[in-house]
Structure 1
Amino acid sequence: MKHYYFILIIFLFNSCQFMEKQVPSEKELLQKELKSINWKEVDEYPSLSDCDKIESKAQRQQCFFDVLTQLIQEKLSVDTLSMLYPKLDTIEVKVTIFPNATMQFEPQFPKDSVAYDRIKIDSILKARLVDFPKVNPAIKRGIPVKTQFILPVIIKVEK
């Protein structure tokens, strides 16, 4: 009977080695995690203090776009842009929000457009689009990230 216990104990110690599983390396785990992340979307969109109190993520995003578009329209409505280019009723503005909460505005023109002085319009935008309220950057996995989007801005002609 002693031999059976001895053989049973040896078998138990050796059987643990058969149950070992391969542990993936750090690089494999990292690659798997990076592939699972959707880099095209953020967890939280940029927001303004006016929109922070809204609970719904979709409504907070829409509020941000509406308020930002309205602020840009107000700043451009007092300018000579509509007088210089009377046929220009809408301009697309590429907005970049950096992780440090700074913003950059860049006008977008059709590729075949030669009717507009891009440098002049760009300088007008840079001169007018300043002093915005503090913007909270977009968040991805708890880290502020850079976001870009294009806003169509209607240039109003005041008479």
Structure 2
Amino acid sequence: MRKLLVLIVILSLTSCEYFNVKKTSSEAILKEELETFNWKDVDEYPSFSVCDSSSSKAERTLCFQTTITQHITNYLQEERIVVTQDINDTLMLNFQVSNTGNLSLLEAKIDSLTYYEIPNIKELLNQSLDVLPKIFPAIKRGQQVTTEFKLPIVIHVN
């Protein structure tokens, strides 16, 4: 009987912890959620209406990049560019698509020879972006978000 009484006393003293309820604030929940949040990835990449038929995220991403690349390349091919020597260069363009769907060129890494031969290359690139079709912004957790990305453009002028 004594052993049973001692066991009941020990169990009752240690079981009190199980009945304590931890209170967590909304700030703590938010902080924990933000720590597990992947800020470098979006649920849906920015897209054009022509990319809506793509079924996977990778296909829509490739469609978006291909559409921009083709559009810039076509625009530059229509321009009359006169150079004194052949140019074969890859430009690295850093873009930003705002949460409203506005595309802007943040930075263009251009070789010095290309910049020397085509001094208005940045203006031509910006002009090519002005006539792009409507862009639908990226989506993260149901919200439209601003995204940045890099895109190589090959310039070949003879």
Report TM bin, short chain: 0.7 to 0.9
Q: Report what 1:55 is aligned to.
A: 55
Could you list the per-position Cα deviations for residues 35-89 of structure 1 after superposition, in whole angstroms to 9, with x for gaps in the alignment? 0100011111111111112111111111111111111111112224563773243
Q: Which runs of 5+ in 2 are unaligned?
A: 1-14
Name the aligned partner's letter for residue 52 of structure 1.
D
Distance in 2 (alpha carbons) for counterparts of 1:119 and 1:142: 42
Aligned match of 1:69: 69
Q: Is the deviation greater in 133-142 or in 82-91?
A: 82-91
> What's 1:130 paired with?
130
Does structure 2 conserve the Cα–Cα contact (< 8 Å) formed by 1:107 and 1:122?
no
Report the alpha carbon displacement of residue 134 of structure 1 after superposing the two structures with TM. Answer: 0.8
Q: 1:143 to 1:25 in 2, by over 3 A?
A: same
Q: Equivalents in 2 of 1:105, 1:47: separation in Å? A: 17
Q: What number of residue pairs does the alignment pair up?
A: 142
Pairwise CA distance, 1:32: 0.2
2:8 corresponds to which residue?
none
What is the RMSD computed on CA atoms of the aligned residues?
2.7
SS at match of 2:38: coil
1:36 matched residue in structure 2: 36
Give the Cα separation in 1 of the matches to 2:22 and 2:85. 68
Following superposition, the deviation at residue 155 of structure 1 comes to 2.3
Which consecutive unaligned segments of at least 5 residues does structure 1 have? 1-14
Q: How many angstroms apart in 1 are the aligned matches of 2:72 and 2:57?
A: 23
Question: SS at 1:31's partner residue?
Answer: helix
User: Does the aligned pair in 1 maintain the 2:48–2:134 contact within 8 Å?
Assistant: yes
Taking the aligned partners of 2:84 and 2:50, their CA distance within structure 1 comes to 33
Q: Does the C-alpha gap of structure 1 residues 93 and 82 become closer, same or farther in structure 2, counting only changes over 3 Å? A: farther
Instruction: Answer whether contact 1:82 1:156 (CA < 8 A) is retained.
Output: no
Contact 1:91/1:107 (8 A) holds in 2: no
In the superposition, the TM-score normalised over structure 2's length comes to 0.76
Percent identity reads: 35
One-letter amino acid of the structure 2 residue matched with residue 19 of structure 1: F
* Alignment match, 1:83: 83
Letter in 2 for 1:32: E
**Cα–Cα, structure 1 residues 30 and 52, in superposed 2: closer, same or farther, change >3 Å?**
same
